[in-house]
Amino acid sequence: MALIETPAGQDITEALVERVRAATSSKTPLRITGGDTKCFYGRPVAGDTLALAGHHGVLRYDPAELVLTARGGTLLADIEALLARHGQQLPFEPPSFGPLATLGGTVAAGLAGPARIVRGPVRDYVLGARLLTGDGRVLKFGGEVMKNVAGYDVSRLLAGSLGILGVLLEVSLKVLPVARGTRTITRRIDAQDAIGLLGAAVQRGIPITGSFWSADILHVRLEGSPSGLDEVTSSVEGVLMDAQAAAAFWHSVREQTHPYFASSRPLWRLSLPATTAGAALSRTDRAAFEWNGAQAWLSGVDRQTIDLITRTAGGHATLFRRGDADDGTTGDVFAPLPAPMRDLHRAVKRVFDPDGILNPGRMYADF
Amino acid sequence: MAVDQELLSELGSVLGPGLLSAPAACVAYECDALTAHRHPPDLVALPTSVEQVQQIVRACHRHAVPVVARGSGTGLSGGALPVPGGLLLVLSRLNGILEIDPRRGIARVQPGVTNLAVSEAAAPYGLYYAPDPSSQVACSVGGNVAENSGGVHCLKYGLTVHNVLAVKLVTMTGELLTLGSETGEAPGLNLLAAVIGSEGLLGIVVEVTVRLLPVPRRVELLLAAFDDVGRCAEAVGQVIAAGIVPAGLEMMDAPAIKAAEAFAHCGYPLDAQALLLCEVDGLPADVDDELGRARAVLEAAGATSVRMAGDAEERRRMWSGRKSAFPAVGRLAPDYFCMDGTIPRRHLADVLAQIAALSKTYRLDVANVFHAGDGNLHPLILFDAGKDGELERAERFGADILEACVAAGGTVTGEHGVGVEKLGPMCSQFSSAELETFHALKLAFDPDGLLNPGKAVPTLARCADYGALRVHGGQLPHSHLPRF
Do A145 and B415 count as a contact with CB atoms less than 8 A apart? Answer: no
Q: Other C-beta atoms within 10 Å of B452: how many? A: 28
Question: Is the CB of residue B98 less than 8 Å from the CB of residue B108?
Answer: yes
**Could you please report the per-residue DSSP string of A102-168?**
BHHHHHHHT---TTHHHH--GGGGEEEEEEE-TTS-EEEEE-SSS---SS--HHHHTTT-TTSS-EE
Q: How confident is the model over A82-111, as a mean pLDDT?
A: 98
Q: Which of B216, B259, B23 is CA-nearest to residue B128?
A: B216
Does residue A342 lie within any of the structural domains? no
Do B196 and A64 count as a contact with CB atoms less than 8 A apart? Answer: no
Do B187 and A318 count as a contact with CB atoms less than 8 A apart? Answer: yes
Per-residue pLDDT of chain B (484 residues; tens, 9 = 90+): 567 899 999 999 999 999 999 999 999 999 999 988 999 999 999 999 999 999 999 999 999 999 999 999 999 999 999 999 999 999 999 999 999 999 899 999 999 999 999 999 999 999 999 999 988 999 999 999 999 999 889 999 999 999 999 999 999 999 999 999 999 999 999 999 999 999 999 999 999 999 999 999 999 999 999 999 999 999 999 999 999 999 999 999 999 999 999 999 999 999 999 999 999 999 999 999 999 999 999 999 999 999 999 999 999 999 999 988 888 998 999 999 999 999 999 999 899 999 999 999 999 999 999 999 999 999 999 999 999 999 999 999 999 999 999 999 999 999 999 999 999 999 999 999 999 999 999 999 999 999 999 999 999 999 988 875 554 444 444 545 433 4
Q: How confident is the model over A221-229, as a mean pLDDT?
A: 94
Mutate which of B162, B181, B189, B439 to disrupt the A interface (most A C-beta within 10 Å)?
A: B189
pLDDT digits (tens, 9 = 90+) for A196-209: 999 999 998 999 99
Q: Say whether both A207 and A158 belong to one domain.
A: no
d(CA A188, CA A206): 19
Quote the mean pLDDT of chain A: 94
Q: Other C-beta atoms within 10 Å of B281: how many? A: 20
Compute the nearest-CA separation of B95 from chain A (Å): 25
Does residue A295 lie within any of the structural domains? yes
Residue numbers in B near A159 (CB within 8 A): 190, 193
**Could you please report the per-residue DSSP string of B389-455?**
THHHHHHHHHHHHHHHHHHTT-BS-SSS--TTTTHHHHHHHS-HHHHHHHHHHHHHH-TT--BSTTS
Q: Which of A177, A202, A236 is the last residue of a domain?
A: A177
Mutate which of B149, B173, B185, B281 to disrupt the A interface (most A C-beta within 10 Å)?
A: B185
d(CA B89, CA B68): 6
Q: Which of A127, A148, A177 is the last residue of a domain?
A: A177
Half-sphere exposure of B114 (CA within 13 A, CB side): 13
- Determine the pLDDT at residue A51: 98
Half-sphere exposure of B246 (CA within 13 A, CB side): 32
Q: To 5 degrees, how large is the angle CA B229–CA A66–CA B246?
A: 65
Between β-strands B43-45 and B87-90, what pairing exists: parallel, antiparallel or unpaired? parallel
d(CA B34, CA B25): 20
Q: Say whether both A193 and A295 belong to one domain.
A: yes
Burial of residue A7, with CB atoms counted within 10 A of its CB: 0-12 exposed, 13-18 middle, 19 or more buried:
exposed
Q: Say whether both A97 and A216 belong to one domain.
A: no
d(CA B356, CA B334): 21
Question: Is the CB of residue B97 less than 8 Å from the CB of residue B118?
Answer: yes
Residue numbers in A near B168 (CB within 8 A): none
Sequence-ordered list of residues with C-beta below 8 angstroms from that of B413, at least 6 positions apart, any chain: A148, A149, A150, B77, B340, B341, B342, B422
Q: Say whether both A185 and A243 belong to one domain.
A: yes
Q: Say whether both A208 and A269 belong to one domain.
A: yes
Who among B188, B426, B433 is closest to A150 (CB)?
B426
d(CA B279, CA B215): 14
Between β-strands A48-51 and A30-33, what pairing exists: parallel, antiparallel or unpaired? parallel
Half-sphere exposure of A264 (CA within 13 A, CB side): 3
> For the CA atoms of A111, A112, A116, A119, what is the dihedral angle to 10 degrees?
-100
Does residue A361 lie within any of the structural domains? no
Q: Say whether both A173 and A186 belong to one domain.
A: no
Q: Say whether both A90 and A141 belong to one domain.
A: yes
Do A147 and B102 count as a contact with CB atoms less than 8 A apart? Answer: no
Q: How confident is the model over A304-308, as a mean pLDDT?
A: 90
Domain holding A104, by residue range, is: 13-177
Closest alpha carbon within chain B to A225: B286
| One-letter amino acid for residue A196 of the chain | G
Residue numbers in A near B413 (CB within 8 A): 148-150
Q: Say whether both A227 and A161 belong to one domain.
A: no
Closest alpha carbon within chain B to A145: B344
Q: Which of B120, B116, B152 is CA-nearest to residue B325?
A: B152
Closest alpha carbon within chain B to A159: B190
Compute the nearest-CA separation of A248 from chain B (Å): 24
Do B127 and A334 count as a contact with CB atoms less than 8 A apart? Answer: no
Question: Is the CB of residue B203 less than 8 Å from the CB of residue B445?
Answer: yes
Does residue A278 lie within any of the structural domains? yes
> For the CA atoms of B34, B38, B41, B45, what is the dihedral angle to 10 degrees?
10
Domains in chain B with CATH codes: 5-90 (3.30.43.10), 97-214 (3.30.465.10), 218-322 (3.30.70.2190), 333-417 (3.30.70.2740)
Closest alpha carbon within chain A to B212: A203
Do A64 and B371 count as a contact with CB atoms less than 8 A apart? Answer: no
Between β-strands B106-109 and B87-90, what pairing exists: parallel, antiparallel or unpaired? unpaired
Residue numbers in A near B241 (CB within 8 A): 1, 63-64
Compute the nearest-CA separation of A70 from chain B (Å): 16
Burial of residue B324, with CB atoms counted within 10 A of its CB: 0-12 exposed, 13-18 middle, 19 or more buried:
middle
Compute the nearest-CA separation of B235 from chain A (Å): 10
Helix ranges (DSSP H) in B265-311: 284-300
Residue numbers in B near A272 (CB within 8 A): 183
Q: Other C-beta atoms within 10 Å of B245: how many? A: 16
Does residue A306 lie within any of the structural domains? yes
Q: Say whether both A60 and A151 belong to one domain.
A: yes
- Determine the pLDDT at residue B482: 39
d(CA B432, CA B412): 16
Q: Say whether both A161 and A213 belong to one domain.
A: no
If you ran DSSP here, which 8-state letter would residue B83 be given? Answer: -
Does residue A335 lie within any of the structural domains? no
Compute the nearest-CA separation of B411 from chain A (Å): 6
Distances in Å between the Cα of A80 and the Cα atoms of A10, A175, B139, B182 are 19, 10, 40, 30
- Determine the pLDDT at residue B66: 98
For helices B432-445 and B460-469, angle between their N-to-C axes, nearest 10 degrees = 150
Who among A87, A230, A350 is closest to B243 (CB)?
A87
If you ran DSSP here, which 8-state letter would residue A318 be given? Answer: E
Compute the nearest-CA separation of B158 from chain A (Å): 8
Mutate which of A67, A148, A164, A176 to disrupt the B interface (most B C-beta within 10 Å)?
A: A148
Sequence-ordered list of residues with C-beta below 8 angstroms from that of B86, at least 6 positions apart, any chain: B41, B42, B43, B65, B66, B67, B68, B453
Number of CB pairs, chain A paired with chain B, less than 8 A apart: 265
CATH code of the domain covering residue A74: 3.30.465.10
Q: Say whether both A220 and A172 belong to one domain.
A: no
Who among B104, B429, B431 is closest to A150 (CB)?
B429
Do B190 and A363 count as a contact with CB atoms less than 8 A apart? Answer: no
Do A177 and B243 count as a contact with CB atoms less than 8 A apart? Answer: yes
Distances in Å between the Cα of A19 and the Cα atoms of A48, A72, A134, A358, B277 are 10, 16, 10, 12, 52
Q: Which of A289, A305, A325 is the last residue of a domain?
A: A325
Question: Is the CB of residue B99 less than 8 Å from the CB of residue B106?
Answer: yes
Does residue A88 lie within any of the structural domains? yes
For helices A339-352 and B432-445, angle between their N-to-C axes, nearest 10 degrees = 170
| One-letter amino acid for residue B46 of the chain | L
Question: Is the CB of residue B414 less than 8 Å from the CB of residue B379?
Answer: no
- Determine the pLDDT at residue B476: 46
Q: Say whether both A119 and A137 belong to one domain.
A: yes
- Determine the pLDDT at residue B85: 95
* Percent share of chain A, pLDDT over 70: 97
Closest alpha carbon within chain A to B170: A340
* Counted domains in chain A: 2
- Determine the pLDDT at residue B327: 87
Who among A140, A148, A334 is closest to B434 (CB)?
A140
- Determine the pLDDT at residue A2: 64
Q: How confident is the model over A29-53, as a mean pLDDT?
A: 96
Sequence-ordered list of residues with C-beta below 8 angstroms from that of A18, at least 6 positions apart, any chain: none
> For the CA atoms of B356, B362, B364, B370, what is the dihedral angle to 10 degrees?
-40
Q: Other C-beta atoms within 10 Å of B424: how many? A: 20
pLDDT digits (tens, 9 = 90+) for B238-293: 999 999 999 999 999 999 999 999 999 999 999 999 999 999 999 999 999 999 99
